[in-house]
Structure 1
Amino acid sequence: MALWIGPDGASRPVRLKGGWDLLPFRRSGLGHSRSDLARGYSAAVWAYRCIKLRADAVAGVPLLLLGSDGVPIEGHPLIRLLRDVNPRTMNLGDLLRATEAAYNIWGVSYWLVERMGTTPRAIYWLNPQTVEPVVDAQRGITAYRQMVGGRTRMLDPADVIAFRNFNPLDDLGGLSPLGVVLNEVNAEISAAEYVAAFFANDTRPAGLLTTDQPLVDSELERVQTWWQRLFGGPKNRWKTGIVGSGLRWQPVSQAHTDLALVELRAEDRRAICAAFGVPPGLAGAWESVTYATAREQKASFYEDTMLPQMEYLAEVLNWSLVARYPDLVARGARLAWDVDSITALRESATDRVNRLRSLFEAGIITRNEVRAELGLPLAPVDGYTYQLVEEDSGMAVKSDWIEELNRWERFAVRRVKEGRHLRPFRSDVLPDRLREGVQEALADVVSVEDVRGLFNAVRDFIDDHPDALNADLAGVGEG
């Protein structure tokens, strides 16, 4: 149906016969119900991306069972349970992804522990849309009610592990991070629909055909149908039309360029990223990312967002899952994440060399401590006083070393650019320990910038420490 507005301002509906079906611009109007939050996750690109990043981050870090001495415990039934949490639906990675995603969509996530006697034998993820706590004013949560497909079952609270985001308005529920930015999510969905409708309408704003002449209903329908058939939709773009009968086109909506959609959508996206603790560059704002800032944003994402969250998850599991194994309680065992395996938090080869050099120059660590951290054999004598070779001889050796390092750098840069493995570099000029130290450090480089940074650090060290040329301590310069 279309709306006809007459010269007197009166309006009446007009039935259209054919024409392009234009997707209307509307607000999706998602509310805070559990089903609405699920639809918001499914429809909002940036919310989906942020939640997916968090879920993948949790699932990508190994979960370890540690004794009181910090040594991993292998072969325990709990380890086997977590390796294959249930035989029907998921492994540990699936379980952790679902847990973190649900936590961010609904503010709460549930596990059901299936027992044989008192021993857990399987773990199942429960969809928060199907679960609600049964609460007693005196005793708190007395059960969990799950409703699926018209069937209801009551679950013992002792068999349910709940992960909740603190909610000041609900002591027993969780605050949905997605719900916190629901206005921005609605705006993002509506803006996407508006853009889709705008291009479906051949990038023309909505408008009216006006005339001062009286028209009967049949004439109105004929003109409206003709207009839609001739100009509606992307297939009819750039067509030229001739309008008679005193008809004039009058836009009634703002031009696409006047709405500042880019700025408004960018602000909504920043708010969505902030709510989930995800740097915008990781979520998709590539225009604000460089190589250096991308690495910083990844590290910030783990340090500021994921490590505190994973620590919380581990605390819940230690309290509600590890406690089910008396032998583990007696040993002081605990579940913990293998944080050292997170690539984004590892020190690059360049950063490590610069850090050790700064500590050495400040007198905080000794030369052999530097060598020990780099995995190099210790020098015969540690300390800061070394017998130097004659100056002229030392300068010549230094020049040879620098020239050989420059040649090695060019070789390494070329292979990194070509995506090839850095094979061992042969040199009759560099001392074995210097060459081996640099070769070991090169195993950690991933980019041309890392290569250049490493060789710059080695050359700076040689310049700043002429005692590295001592023949008795050949190779100490690599530290």
Structure 2
Amino acid sequence: MGLLSFIGRQFTLRDRDFWTWFGGNPSWTGKSVTPESVMQIATALACIRLTATTVSTLPPHVYRERPDGSRERLPNHPLAVLLSQSPNADQTPAEFLEGMVGCMMLFGNAYALKTSSTGQVRALTLLRPDLMTVKRDRETYALTYEYSDPRGREVYQPEEIWHLRAFGLGGDLGLSAVEYGRQAFGLAMATDEAAARTFSNGMRPGGFFKSDKELTPAQREQARQTLIKPMQGAENSGRIGILEGQFSWQEVSMPLKDAELLASRGLHIQEICRLMGNIPPVLIGHTGEGVTHFGTGIESLIRAWLTVGLGPLLGRIEQSASRALVSRADRGKVWCEFARDGLLQADSEARAKLYASAAQNGWRTRNEIRALENLPALEGGDALTAQSNLVPLDRLGTIVTATTTQEHQQEIRQ
């Protein structure tokens, strides 16, 4: 967020966003923690990108409850078209959902402006959370959304905004992981900076040149030009210098092994993964001691993340979309739901077991299973089938007998 973003916007001494832009959220390391600085941490960027892209590639479906209690998919419903085909004139559905999830993970809140027609939402325009202020009137307690950008200031009513909140404590806003996890992010930035400065200095620790005699200002400047500057920087690594005039070198920094700099950088990867939704570090390319990229252990970690990390996030988005995007006439009858079967696309064994169970136990037809694999329907594939090894004992063999009788009668006719 740049300073130009605040042009034309009205502020007060209590406007937290404005003052945070200048000083950021303070941390014990002295680093200013802002959404932009957090995005420059490789681990945080990887976590946000992984979660946002995973959610955005799951197809959202719209369902309606039938009188018998079952549900019916509505592929042509305006909400289904909006979420799966064209959320607005500029973005694809994946790009829009990536933006919403990314904003929610960074700021704790994501906003989209609704464009409605005949009672149905026809378009969703992503708004920047850093330019949005949520207020309640002191007298009426009515909620309003004030959006300020260089073009001006707009006030929206709750029915005009899709407000997607992150984990919260029941207030009007979700909690920002950047704000409440600023100590971990500040430590990560300080550790990365320390490592970068060490490498920029040619992996040499800092220290002092000591002289047995007091130097004049001219001698100090001469020593700086002849001793200090030629030996600094990674480009001067390996150079050999000469100490004369009773100079000696005194090291003052701890060696990298003693400071355990690399171990500290590994620790902040785990901390950020916890803050960003219990993401297993291996999913963003970080393997700890005794952990590899392959094997059943990693598959268990992925399933655990899909259950305790991504699953609750999908449920939060589904409930929010069903509440904010479904028309009043359809509310309670129509809802939005992600096709979680897409999470099994990378696990062929689990997908095969699921399909076999569905076909053999009669809760999905073979054509429904083929549709999930983008295969054409087959004749006779719309019938529900089940194995006959669990039929009652008094009916055991009746199907075979009937089939055998029909075949025998056909042979007689021939």
Q: Same fold (TM over 0.5)?
A: yes
Alignment-derived partner of residue 237 in structure 2 = 237
Alpha-carbon offset, residue 349 of structure 1: 6.0
Alignment-derived partner of residue 349 in structure 2 = 348
Q: Please state if 1:40 is matched with 2:34.
A: no
SS of residue matched to 1:253: coil
Alpha-carbon offset, residue 115 of structure 1: 2.3
SS of residue matched to 1:58: helix
Alignment-derived partner of residue 174 in structure 1 = 174
Alignment-derived partner of residue 466 in structure 1 = none
Alpha-carbon offset, residue 283 of structure 1: 2.3
Aligned length: 338
CA distance in 1, matches of 2:82, 2:101: 19
Alignment-derived partner of residue 87 in structure 2 = 85
- Native 8 Å contact 1:115 1:121 kept in 2: yes
Q: Against the structure 1 CA distance between its residues 304 and 162, is the aligned structure 2 distance closer, same or farther, given a 3 Å change threshold?
A: same
1:84 aligned partner, one-letter code: S
- Native 8 Å contact 1:145 1:152 kept in 2: yes
Unaligned runs of 5+ in 2: 1-22, 370-384, 394-414
Q: Against the structure 1 CA distance between its residues 306 and 350, is the aligned structure 2 distance closer, same or farther, given a 3 Å change threshold?
A: closer
Q: 1:294 aligns with which of 290, 293, 298?
A: 298
Alpha-carbon offset, residue 94 of structure 1: 1.3
CA distance in 1, matches of 2:388, 2:254: 79
SS of residue matched to 1:202: coil
2:326 aligned partner, one-letter code: V
Alpha-carbon offset, residue 333 of structure 1: 1.9
Alpha-carbon offset, residue 136 of structure 1: 1.3
Alignment-derived partner of residue 320 in structure 2 = 316
Unaligned runs of 5+ in 1: 1-28, 357-367, 386-479
Alpha-carbon offset, residue 207 of structure 1: 0.8
CA distance in 2, matches of 1:165, 1:382: 47
Alignment-derived partner of residue 136 in structure 1 = 137
Q: Please state if 1:306 is matched with 2:310.
A: yes
Alignment-derived partner of residue 119 in structure 1 = 120
- Native 8 Å contact 1:67 1:334 kept in 2: yes
- Native 8 Å contact 1:37 1:105 kept in 2: no
CA distance in 1, matches of 2:92, 2:365: 37
Alpha-carbon offset, residue 369 of structure 1: 6.1
1:300 aligned partner, one-letter code: A
- Native 8 Å contact 1:107 1:164 kept in 2: yes
Alpha-carbon offset, residue 350 of structure 1: 10
CA distance in 2, matches of 1:380, 1:199: 70
Q: Which moved more, 1:239-248 or 1:263-272?
A: 263-272
Alpha-carbon offset, residue 229 of structure 1: 3.6
CA distance in 2, matches of 1:316, 1:378: 38
TM superposition score normalised by structure 2: 0.73
- Native 8 Å contact 1:184 1:269 kept in 2: no
Alpha-carbon offset, residue 121 of structure 1: 2.3
Q: Against the structure 1 CA distance between its residues 344 and 380, is the aligned structure 2 distance closer, same or farther, given a 3 Å change threshold?
A: closer
CA distance in 1, matches of 2:236, 2:307: 53
Q: Against the structure 1 CA distance between its residues 153 and 195, is the aligned structure 2 distance closer, same or farther, given a 3 Å change threshold?
A: same
Alignment-derived partner of residue 31 in structure 1 = 25
Superposed, 1:44-443 pairs within 5 Å as 44-68=41-65, 69-82=70-83, 83-87=85-89, 89-116=90-117, 118-149=119-150, 151-168=152-169, 171-276=171-276, 277-287=278-288, 288-289=291-292, 290-324=294-328, 326=329, 328-329=330-331, 332-343=333-344, 348=349, 352=353
Q: Deviations over 1:94-146 (max 9, x none)?
A: 11111111111111111110123533221111111000112113433432111
CA distance in 2, matches of 1:344, 1:222: 68
Q: Deviations over 1:445-465 (max 9, x none)?
A: xxxxxxxxxxxxxxxxxxxxx
- Native 8 Å contact 2:206 2:252 kept in 1: yes
CA distance in 2, matches of 1:108, 1:219: 59
Q: Which runs of 4+ in 1 moved over 4 A?
A: 344-347, 372-375, 377-383
1:31 aligned partner, one-letter code: N
Alpha-carbon RMSD = 3.2
- Native 8 Å contact 2:146 2:155 kept in 1: yes
1:50 aligned partner, one-letter code: C
SS of residue matched to 1:123: strand
2:79 aligned partner, one-letter code: L
2:25 aligned partner, one-letter code: G
Q: Against the structure 1 CA distance between its residues 86 and 220, is the aligned structure 2 distance closer, same or farther, given a 3 Å change threshold?
A: same
* Larger Rg, first or second structure (1 or 2): 1
Q: Deviations over 1:313-354 (max 9, x none)?
A: 111111111134x2x448x2211110122126857169949x
CA distance in 2, matches of 1:262, 1:160: 45
Alpha-carbon offset, residue 210 of structure 1: 1.0
Q: Against the structure 1 CA distance between its residues 224 and 381, is the aligned structure 2 distance closer, same or farther, given a 3 Å change threshold?
A: closer
SS of residue matched to 1:286: coil
TM superposition score normalised by structure 1: 0.64
CA distance in 1, matches of 2:352, 2:74: 33
CA distance in 2, matches of 1:106, 1:249: 48
CA distance in 2, matches of 1:32, 1:67: 48
CA distance in 1, matches of 2:141, 2:387: 66
Q: Deviations over 1:281-328 (max 9, x none)?
A: 11222342332222222211111111111111111111111134x2x4
